[in-house]
Amino acid sequence: MSASEVKAELLERWGKEPVAQLCANIVDFISSLPADERRLFTYGSFMKATNRKATDEELLRAIAILVNSKVAALDTWALFTDEHGEEHEITPKDFSDIRRTGVLVHPESGELVTDFEDHIMPFFVPTERLAD
């Protein structure tokens, strides 16, 4: 599926709501980048792409639509930084399990991480649906 097809689907489902245009702007931003720069996006990336000064409710709603709806244009990954400053990528499935259970086991040591929320940064990766 191409970015234009994703945008058409977004506008068909949410076209009457302001969030639809915000979603389309994010899709345009992602698709305008060279393929090698489409690997990782943060809330800050999407703030800049949509000219927002903060991660507001409307931006969060747009990201939720792109991640959680049938559009499925983005996957949510996370980066866990441990007490030694080492970074570990967390897959969408594992991140979902962590959010559901409230439990993070250190990927190398196997120990329970008690304050993991302070050490996780979510990020977003385009799915194949945004591959042009």
pLDDT digits (tens, 9 = 90+) for 93-124: 999 999 999 999 999 999 999 888 999 999 99
Helix (H) or strand (E) holding 122: strand 120-126
Determine contact, residues 78/90, Cβ cutoff 8 Å: yes
Taking the CB of residue 120, how many other CB atoms lie within 10 A of it?
Answer: 17
Range 29-48 burial, b when 16+ CB lie within 10 A, else e: bbbeeeeeebeebebeebee
Residues 6+ apart with CB under 8 A from 65: 10, 14, 19, 23, 71
Structure confidence by residue, pLDDT tens digits, 7-39? 889 988 888 888 999 999 999 999 999 988 988
Does residue 1 have a pLDDT over 70? no
pTM: predicted TM-score of the whole model, two decimal places: 0.88
> What is the chain's percent helix, strand, coil content, to nearest 5?
50, 20, 30
